[in-house]
Amino acid sequence: SNIGFIMANSTFYDAEFYRSLRIKGFGQIIISPFGFFINLLCVIVLVKHKRFHIIPNLFVFLMCLNDFIIYIVLLPVEALHILLGGGVIVFCAPWNYTILLLTGTNLMIYACIAINRYFLIVWNKLYRKVFTNIGCVVMILISFLVPGITLLQPILGFGPLYDFHDPLGWECGFVILDGTYSGFWELSLILSFAIPLLIMMFCYISIYWVLRKQRRVIENHQASDYIDRSKRVDVHFTKVMAMLFVIYCATYGPYMIVSNIGLRHVHYLYQGTLFLTKWNGLLNSTVYILMNRQVKVAILALFGQKPADNLERSNERRSPGVQTKMENMSSYTGQQT
């Protein structure tokens, strides 16, 4: 799906445009099975094992579920539409709305994860008050409603339209007709996409500075064993979530730059950066698995290995009476998710 704006009277739809579009279509066919499979693994593991039923993993689960839908349905069908020369996607508006809704929701969930890490590290005393059952439900609803309402505007007649903007009808996106563009639409996009990015930047920068200031205190504290163990769990999990933000910037950043500095006519560059955004869900789940030892062990168990003994031996090596903060979190957040 084309997130950017294409003028209805554009004349740059030449042979190079369609060749670059075909290449992107082939690429989507190739990566879709991998994205579908790895997100399915994450969904199964996060649902199956109660030890993963904590608030941060709830947000990760929602992202994986969105990406699972994208990789199993939306990307393959879009690719077939391109490779077959159109005719597969009949109704552009609901199609484009759905894929953009899932993409926008994921961005909002990125922000929710950053806020969760921010309160846990920076304002720990307020964590339980903010991330209650009601608090989590409100954050999830906002994550769906903000992009959902914003992206309804073209369907309701405000702003640009959802339509096939090239003459052969290969690519579905925003089409700007005379008189359909509005400042309110631009403001809505800023609210949906720019603000979550600013929230993430603020949260992770704040976390970085707080952890930097606390390092010496932790190292010199009399109960350094307990504090260091609990902090390391929080910090490592925060690094995992921050890495997801880095992946978002790496996959969507080039496209946002190219689409806003007048390089749309460089078709291979433009379609290449657009294809890069399709990797986001695949890379997210891959990094989440690789950086989370317990998730890796649980996934291996799905294929016949026995991880329980390894986890038990790992727990036994801890000092008696020492319980990591992640375990404490699980005890009071597992019911909230």
Tens digit of each residue's pLDDT, the chain (337 residues): 444 444 444 556 778 888 999 999 999 999 999 999 999 999 999 999 888 888 888 999 999 999 999 999 999 999 999 999 888 888 888 998 999 899 889 989 989 989 998 998 888 888 888 898 899 999 999 999 988 988 888 888 777 788 887 888 888 887 766 555 556 566 666 766 778 888 988 998 888 888 777 765 555 554 455 445 555 656 666 777 778 888 888 888 888 888 777 777 888 999 999 999 999 999 989 998 888 888 899 998 888 877 545 444 444 444 333 333 333 333 333 333 3
Alpha-carbon 188 to chain mean position: 20
Alpha carbons 217 and 86: distance in angstroms, whole number = 62
| Cα three-residue angle 27-33-37, rounded to 5 degrees | 140
At 261, give phi and psi (nearest 5°).
Answer: -120, 20
| Domains of the chain: residue spans and CATH | 2-333 (1.20.1070.10)
The set of residues, in sequence order, having a beta carbon less than 8 Å from that of 291 and lying 6+ positions away, is 236, 239, 240, 243
Residue 223 CA: distances (Å) to CA of 12, 217, 226, 319: 67, 11, 6, 13
> Residue 318 carries which side chain, given as an amino acid letter?
R
Sorted by sequence, the CB contacts under 8 Å of residue 117 that are 6+ apart come out as 56, 203, 204, 207, 237, 238, 241, 242
pLDDT digits (tens, 9 = 90+) for 266-315: 889 999 999 999 999 999 899 988 888 888 999 988 888 775 454 444 44
* Spatial separation of the C-alpha atoms in residues 323 and 5, rounded to whole Å: 52
Is residue 133 within 8 Å of residue 336, measured between CB atoms? yes
> What pLDDT digit, counting tens, does each position of 150-163 carry?
888 888 877 778 88
Model pTM? 0.78
Residues 238/243/245/246 CA torsion (nearest 10 deg) = 140
Block residue for tokens 């579908």? 36
